[in-house]
Amino acid sequence: MGYTVAEKILLNHCDADHVEPGQVVMVRCDVVLANDVTGPVAFRQMEKMGTSEVFDCSKIVMVADHFAPAKDERSAILIKRLKEWSLEHGVVFYDQGRGGIEHNLLAQEGWVVPGSVIVGGDSHTCTHGALGAFSSGLGSTDIAHCIIFGEFWEAVPGTIQVTVSGEKGRFVTGKDVILAVISQIGAGGGTDNVLEFVGPGTKSLSIDERLAVSNLTVEAGSETGIFPADETTTVYLDGRTERKWEAVHSDPDASYSRQLEVDLDRLEPLVAKPHNPENVVPVSELVGTPIHQVVVGNCANGTLTDLRQAAQMMQGKRVHERTRMIVVPATQKIYREALTEGLVDTLVEAGASISTPTCGPCFGGHTGALAPGENALATTNRNFKGRAGSPDANVYLGNAFVAAAAAVAGEIVDPAGVM
Amino acid sequence: MIASGKAVVVPGTNIDTDVLYPGVYLNIDDPESMKPHLFEGIDPSLLEQLGGDTVLVVGENFGMGSSREHVPLAMKAWNVRCVIGSSFARIFYRNCINLALPAITCPQAAQAARSGSQITVDAAAGKVTVDGQEFSAVPVPPFMLEMLDRGGLVSWAQYKLSQPRS
């Protein structure tokens, strides 16, 4: 019996001579990531474990993104701790103004290559599957163990294969592909599995869109969502990384726990209703829902592609008087590119607020919390009750076209009607 | 590993870690200071039932969402000895095992338990007893059992560090 891409990567990173779903193996990490929330908790656990030695300082990355820029003294202390620990151990530290949101940053800076194993103290570490890596979100105690030993225990997951076919419509993006999958299998449907995306339709998904797809695989309970490397991956990595890599693909006789299909020809822009990303409906079903805040940003959809889509919708238009619009470029580099391309000017002229890269508005940490009774349309990945401020607020998740169209109309609308 | 305590029922399916421990408190890194915020987004009054040895009883896909270890850290700090449920989200489950907090899948026991029920869990034997009635749990794999018996990943790491380097 052949192996899936996930099984092959794990087999290459452990001492076992065979792997199968459910088997527990120790998996070696190529990159260990943590942030200002999960890093300091991991450092406490390292102290209890009894060492401050790291396995390989060139493979450890710390990013200040959740509470950066620090919203209060307690947050500033955490970020200071993260920075001092990083300097002391000689690991790479991306401070505010030098990095951005961890996952977009790691991909952008060439840390991630196909076939590698990326672990992070953040559930959206699954994002890196977009580049053909096996990536796993872990808790802080796991991260402490990875920092010391360079490995983690892993129950080998099964694989759910998603075959994507057809061509995307004008306002359909990667976000809609993954919302369609979550809607098919539910919030717990991918537990103990990874998703694997194949088929002719994947060719029309750029790396930015694949990042969004892989990013939301955890909202279906999956460990990651892998796009086996193809020409799009090769072009993206050219000149971006010096790491050696080889494309890893599933064997033709690999075994899958389930197979799904997404037909792009029949896909329309989708929206996940409160308070669970599995509550997916076509945007047309929600037309007229008043929207008080729009957020374009976060590790799913704060890419240059998303900012371009938002700016296209906003060109020559105004944010509706009922609505606030916050745009968060995911990284400092994306921010600069958006400036160079004039996207920031278009958005600011329309009445949007532009924030420095941060996770703040997505998880209710800071920068854009919601009041009771308010509705938001966000390009983020979670709409849990209370996540973005008041438990009596509602968050709808959609792509950047849908979000920007709602900002113009002050309510959910079909983006085709705005542009 | 055997754990026992009085049941506290956390109702609902797909209970996410945001409602279990809201994100605004993620800038706390000391487990004692995390305690007051556990369950804040779902039902803060649940805290009134905590304090003594407790077994949490939960539904399907419990702990979905964020990797925040603040949730099981706060549970441990409240003397939660075990969590029994219909099913668990992956990262929450890992975090529990790593902190030596048994997360036991046993839908029948989770259905039978009421607030205040006396629950005993024998992880190795795969048995959950609710007010004297016995249920079979989904077996805990040997690796996870060993992790629980050793006292979690911190003790496991201590042990590995104490061994001569090969």
Is the CA virtual torsion A333, A338, A342, A344 positive or negative?
Answer: negative
How confident is the model over A371-397, as pLDDT tens digits?
Answer: 999 999 999 999 999 999 999 999 999
**Distance, CA of A27 to CA of A174 (rounded, Å):** 30
pLDDT score of A276 more than 70: yes
Average pLDDT over residues A186-209: 98
Verify whether the Cβ–Cβ distance B14 to A187 is below 8 Å.
Answer: yes
pLDDT score of B79 more than 70: yes
Q: Centre a 10 Å sphere on the Cβ of residue A84 and count the other Cβ atoms it contains.
A: 12
**Distance, CA of A96 to CA of B31 (rounded, Å):** 27
Average pLDDT over residues A360-364: 95
CA-based nearest distance A135→chain B, Å:
13
* Residues of chain A contacting B157 with CB distance shorter than 8 Å: 49-50, 144-145, 148-149
What's the pLDDT band for B73 if we cut at 50, 70, 90?
very high
How confident is the model over A398-414, as pLDDT tens digits?
Answer: 999 999 999 999 999 99
Nearest to A218 by CA among B104, B58, B15, B91: B91
Chain A interface disruption, residue of B62, B67, B145, most A CBs within 10 A: B67
Under 8 Å between Cβ of A415 and A336: no
pLDDT score of B164 more than 90: no
pLDDT number for residue B1:
86
**Distance, CA of A211 to CA of B139 (rounded, Å):** 36
Average model confidence (pLDDT) across chain B: 97
What's the pLDDT band for B166 if we cut at 50, 70, 90?
low
Average pLDDT over residues A160-187: 98
Under 8 Å between Cβ of A362 and A381: yes
Under 8 Å between Cβ of B85 and B57: yes
Verify whether the Cβ–Cβ distance A41 to B22 is below 8 Å.
Answer: no
Chain A interface disruption, residue of B15, B25, B29, most A CBs within 10 A: B29
How confident is the model over A230-248, as pLDDT tens digits?
Answer: 999 999 999 999 999 999 9
Under 8 Å between Cβ of A251 and A2: yes
Q: Centre a 10 Å sphere on the Cβ of residue A167 and count the other Cβ atoms it contains.
A: 13
Verify whether the Cβ–Cβ distance B67 to A50 is below 8 Å.
Answer: no
Average pLDDT over residues A75-85: 98
Average pLDDT over residues B94-108: 98
Cis omega before residue A69 (within 30°)?
A: yes
Size of interface A-B (CB pairs under 8 A): 141
What's the pLDDT band for A31 if we cut at 50, 70, 90?
very high
Helices (H), A150-302: 174-185, 207-215, 231-237, 298-301
Verify whether the Cβ–Cβ distance A139 to B147 is below 8 Å.
Answer: no
pLDDT number for residue B161:
96
pLDDT number for residue A1:
85
Q: Structurally, how many domains does chain B consist of? A: 1
Nearest to A220 by CA among A202, A193, A260, A244: A193
CATH class of the domain defined by A271-417: alpha beta
pLDDT score of B81 more than 90: yes
Q: Does A276 touch chain B (CB under 8 A)?
A: yes
Average pLDDT over residues A335-343: 98
Average pLDDT over residues B37-52: 97
Q: Does A142 touch chain B (CB under 8 A)?
A: yes
Verify whether the Cβ–Cβ distance B158 to A50 is below 8 Å.
Answer: yes
Average pLDDT over residues A27-42: 98
Nearest to A34 by CA among A1, A88, A98, A78: A78
How confident is the model over A146-164, as pLDDT tens digits?
Answer: 999 999 999 999 999 999 9
ipTM of the complex: 0.98
Backbone angles phi, psi at B34, to 5 degrees: -80, -25
The beta-carbon neighbor of B14 closest among A37, A74, A276 is: A276
Average model confidence (pLDDT) across chain A: 98
- The domains of chain A are located at 5-263, 271-417
pLDDT number for residue A224:
98
CA A160 to chain centre: 19
Coil vs helix vs strand at A419: coil
Residue B86 DSSP code: S
For the domain made up of A5-263, give the CATH fold.
Answer: Aconitase; domain 3 (3.30.499)
Structural domain boundaries, residue B6: 2-162
pLDDT number for residue A380:
98
Integer CA distances (angstroms), A252 to A3, A185, A209, B157, in order = 8, 24, 26, 39
CA-based nearest distance A409→chain B, Å:
30
Closest-CA residue in chain A for B152?
Answer: A141
Average pLDDT over residues B21-45: 97
CA-based nearest distance A395→chain B, Å:
14
The predicted model scores a pTM of 0.98
Residue B139 is part of a domain; what is its CATH number? 3.20.19.10
pLDDT score of A123 more than 70: yes
Start-to-end CA distance of chain B, whole Å, equals 30
Instruction: Say if residue A247 is exposed, middle or buried (CB neighbours under 10 Å; 0-12, 13-18, 19+).
Output: middle
What tokens appear for B143 in the block?
A: 């690796």
pLDDT number for residue A419:
82
Instruction: Say if residue B116 is exposed, middle or buried (CB neighbours under 10 Å; 0-12, 13-18, 19+).
Output: exposed
